[in-house]
Chains A and B, each alone.
Chain A
Amino acid sequence: KQEVTQIPAALSVPEGENLVLNCSFTDSAIYNLQWFRQDPGKGLTSLLLIQSSQREQTSGRLNASLDKSSGRSTLYIAASQPGDSATYLCAVDGDKIIFGKGTRLHILP
């Protein structure tokens, strides 16, 4: 049974810092992995999707990597801004779609 873990559960960093969010999964038989952000009381916004054959994807200040063999993905955020404050979720699409519990990120102005 696939398990998806996101560590840390919460993170506070000063504005301007680069940071890395982690997502680990137990079953490497996946089709893709998607990163989302969720603002309080809102739906999810897609950030990046990495297919199983890919190693990384980039969009603006965001870079997501995927290492299937080790069951890990990272989301790198460069030059963080207060507007980046949100909960970041990863979702693994394998036999089922399984979400992590998320990392609650707070960027301090």
Chain B
Amino acid sequence: ETGVTQTPRHLVMGMTNKKSLKCEQHLGHNAMYWYKQSAKKPLELMFVYNFKEQTENNSVPSRFSPECPNSSHLFLHLHTLQPEDSALYLCASSQGGRRGAYEQYFGPGTRLTVT
């Protein structure tokens, strides 16, 4: 596989469930990102990891818990979500971190519905 992959592509979960989203990049990049895209709102950056270390957390509620075991894999652990958390969750990667000349490459996203 090439590029950035995300699994699952669709997820329906109840508010009391615990689930995880997975992202894998095959580009040899060092930085990875989680974004949330809600209907009629701009894309929002949630977390940034650079060389496995978290470098940004943009005031994301603790019911979202990221994990980056290595530069190729990124997880988003979900628990006790609310219906307003329903959205498209996008993962991205880049060669280097933010604020440079590095383009971000996105995965296809996970469509999450919280019931």
B42 touches A44 (CB 8 A): no
A43 touches B98 (CB 8 A): no
Besides A31-B98, A97-B45, 12 more A-B contacts (Cβ < 8 Å) are A32-B99, A36-B106, A41-B111, A42-B108, A43-B6, A43-B90, A43-B106, A43-B107, A93-B98, A93-B99, A96-B45, A101-B40
**Majority secondary structure, A binding face:** strand
A46 touches B103 (CB 8 A): yes
Interface size class of B (residues with CB under 8 A): 20 to 34
Cβ of A63 under 8 Å from chain B: no
Question: Closest 7 A-B residue pairs measured CB to CB?
Answer: A43-B106, A31-B99, A99-B43, A44-B106, A99-B42, A46-B103, A43-B108
Cβ of B30 under 8 Å from chain A: no
Q: Report the bound CA distance from A93 to B94 in whole Å.
A: 13
Q: Report the bound CA distance from A32 to B101 in whole Å.
A: 7
Neighbouring A residues of B102 by C-beta, 8 Å: 49
**Chain B 78-115, CB within 8 Å of chain A: the 1/0 string?**
00000000001010100000111111111111010000
Neighbouring B residues of A34 by C-beta, 8 Å: 103-104
Neighbouring B residues of A44 by C-beta, 8 Å: 43, 90, 92, 104, 106
Cβ of B58 under 8 Å from chain A: yes
Nearest-neighbour CB distance to chain B for A45, whole angstroms, equals: 7
